[in-house]
Structure 1
Amino acid sequence: MRRKILSFLTSLSTLWLLVGVACQYVPPHLFWAAGFVAMSLPGALVLNGVLLLLWLWQRPVWALWPALLIFLFWSQHTRYFSLNTPDAQPEPEEQRIKVLSYNVRVFNVYKHLHEADPALPEKEMEWVAEHHADILCLQEFYHDKTDNTYNSRKRIGKQQDREIYVGKALTNKIGAEFGLAIFSRFPIVEKGSVVFDRPTKNQVIYVDVKLPSKDTLRVYNMHLESMAIEEKDVEAAVQSEAGLKTKGRNIARRLKGGFIARSYQVEKLLEHIQASRHPVLLCGDLNDLPSSYTYQKLRGQLQNAFEEGGSGFGFTYNGKLPIRIDNQFYSDRLELLRFDVLDQIQFTDHFPLESTYVLTAPVEEEGN
């Protein structure tokens, strides 16, 4: 009887795994249910691992099947858990490109965000401004030139010898700016934004920076469509049947809308990236999980810094939900030396991502 149950669960986990991986390639704007199936894929990975252990205990020969699935889909596991060590022989200091990507949550300007610690906005601004990064990609950026604390253009830019490009999503009645920002200690020679086909408050901006080597690097800063889900709603949905009915339907509706919006956005973003003449670094808040269509599309063209250089689970959301939604992707000519999720920095609901790259020489074509 016990083996029959294990056999059924093994068949279930195999089907779940295969369908979940397949759904990563299905655009949610064509079939939105694929987004939910892909999102559930970590459950299939965990179940398969548990079955491996149970079969080793019950009948070791049957453990070969879940072991084979782990081998075949190992790249799915490393999206969620990675074990890498920093490069033991880093390139010379002058060749390194140090990058910080961070959702700064409007520097906690609203009272309810800093009520427990009134000094929080100043602490966060000071930490960001004085960070050693050459390039900073900030999401949920905020700037108010009339306020000493929130004069971020001056404090992060001018006072730290960084050039700046801001993609303004909104300017309020007092003239404060909201949006995305890229700060660079390298000269900015070109800048712009990716234009989405559908109306949205979310953005992608880019700059081309001239490196000391005279090479040009294109840096994208993205903040794709938000999940728009509150932790308290998720808690209410799982705590009771009534909560599931009242909150669960709303959560599902918001998730569906996000899947569809991001699937359009990522396709437009990739079109822009593929047209770039320069090597590419893409940073920001993806607002989607590593098993999603959005992530898969980007990973098909670029390398992911956590997978290549991270360690542990790499959760980037500073809350009760253990998820990784902030990322750095990069093209082949960039070599990653180090990548860290700074989970000790807890100013906002996201952790900063810190990395170091070098730009390698282009590969010469045969016959040249």
Structure 2
Amino acid sequence: MSQIKVVSYNIRHAQGMDGTIHIQRIAASLAHTKAQLIGLQEVDKHMPRSHFIHQAKTLGQLLNMHWVYGPNLDWGVAQYGNAILSYWPVLLYRQYMLPSKGEQRGLLEAVLQLKHSKVSFFCTHLGLNQEERAAQVKEILNIIKKCCYPCILVGDFNDGPTSKEHRLLTTILKDAVGIQGSIKTFPSHKPQEQIDYIFVSPEWKILSASTYTTLASDHLPVQITLVLTLEDEEVYKNIHLTKK
């Protein structure tokens, strides 16, 4: 399989560091990365503050990508949550609600068809409370352990690489961004800490990791390049063919 570029980006409902809501600026930043798989957090749908735009749909149209949306908060027509954009078709998607004490958080999964292989792509945004995040990570791991395809997990995890939650995640996943050491992602105008990550299951080979400099949000996008090893690709293809 050829190389794949993946991005995780908290877009803060397209509000840039200048305070302006500008969805086209988010689209331009994402286009510059040339990513084929994108996980987005803090995405609005028909919210007054972001001019009633369906942001996931709009970004999908602007970038000519397939898209799915997972609302965590719902006020009828107006919603707020995570989104996934994909160059490849989305076969199915699921929204999981995570245990939350403050703002409701969720995990969005899209199963994608990449040539001969299926891949599960997850996007999340964890809570602000450490106890809450620990419970959310445990639930995410329970979900991923049941996954029968190679996995990618992206998101804003609201904690650093020395956290308990990071240690739990890396018991079964690899920190794909960590291959470059510490990469600062927040705040975007003067990055001081890393709270945005991409984790992958062992079948993936990570080739590179970096941020992309943009002030379109208060976070920087993190981007990686990776490849699914041929041996594991064949294993998963055979599992798919024999699975009832």
Residue type of the alignment partner of 2:125: H
SS in 2 for 1:194: strand
Are 1:330 and 2:200 counterparts? yes
Matches within 5 A, 1:241-320: 258-308=129-179, 310=180, 313-318=182-187
Partner AA of 1:123 in structure 2 = R
Contact 2:29 2:216 in 1 (8 A): no
Cα deviation digits, residues 34-90 of structure 1 (max 9, x gap): xxxxxxxxxxxxxxxxxxxxxxxxxxxxxxxxxxxxxxxxxxxxxxxxxxxxxxxxx
The one-letter code sitting in structure 2 at the alignment partner of 1:106 is H
Correspondence for 2:55: 152
Q: What runs of 5+ residues in structure 1 fail to find an aligned partner?
A: 1-93, 227-257
Report whether the alignment pairs 1:96 with 2:3: yes
User: For residues 196 and 81 of structure 2, what CA distance do their matches in structure 1 show?
Assistant: 16
The 8 Å contact of residues 122 and 149 in structure 1, kept in 2 or not, is answered as no
Q: TM-score, normalised by structure 1?
A: 0.57
Q: Cα deviations across residues 276-312 of structure 1 (Å, max 9, x unaligned)?
A: 101111100111121111000001111111222x25x
Match of 2:113 among 210, 213, 216: 210
For the 8 Å contact 2:176–2:199, the answer to whether it is kept is yes
CA distance in 2, matches of 1:128, 1:149: 21
Aligned equivalents of 2:55, 2:68: Cα separation in 1: 12
- Partners of 1:318 and 1:346 within 8 A in 2: no
Q: Distance in 2 between matches of 1:153 and 1:307?
A: 28
Q: Which has the greater radius of gyration?
A: 1
In the alignment, which of 199, 211, 217 is matched to residue 341 of structure 1? 211
Judging changes above 3 Å, is the alpha-carbon distance between structure 1 residues 117 and 211 closer, same or farther for their aligned structure 2 residues? same
CA RMSD after TM alignment: 2.8
Structure 1 residue 321: Cα displacement: 7.2
Instruction: Report the equivalent of 1:4.
Output: none
Q: For residue 276 of structure 1, give the secondary structure of its aligned residue in structure 2.
A: coil
Structure-2 change in CA distance of 1:117 and 1:204 (3 Å): closer
* Unaligned ranges ≥5, structure 2: 236-244
Does residue 1:140 correspond to 2:42, yes or no? yes
Rate the CA distance shift 1:321–1:97 in 2: closer, same or farther, 3 A.
Answer: closer
Checking the alignment, whether the CA contact within 8 Å between 2:184 and 2:191 is kept in structure 1 is no
More strand by share: 2
RCO comparison, higher one (Cα < 8 Å, 6+): 2
CA–CA distance in structure 2, aligned partners of residues 178 and 198 of structure 1:
15
- The structure where helix makes up a greater share of residues is 1
The TM-score with structure 2 as length reference comes to 0.83
1:223 to 120, 125, 129: 125
* Residue 59 of structure 2 corresponds to residue 190 of structure 1: no
Identical-pair percentage = 24
Evaluate the alpha carbon distance shift between residue 150 and residue 361 of structure 1 in structure 2; reply closer, same or farther with a 3 A threshold. Answer: same
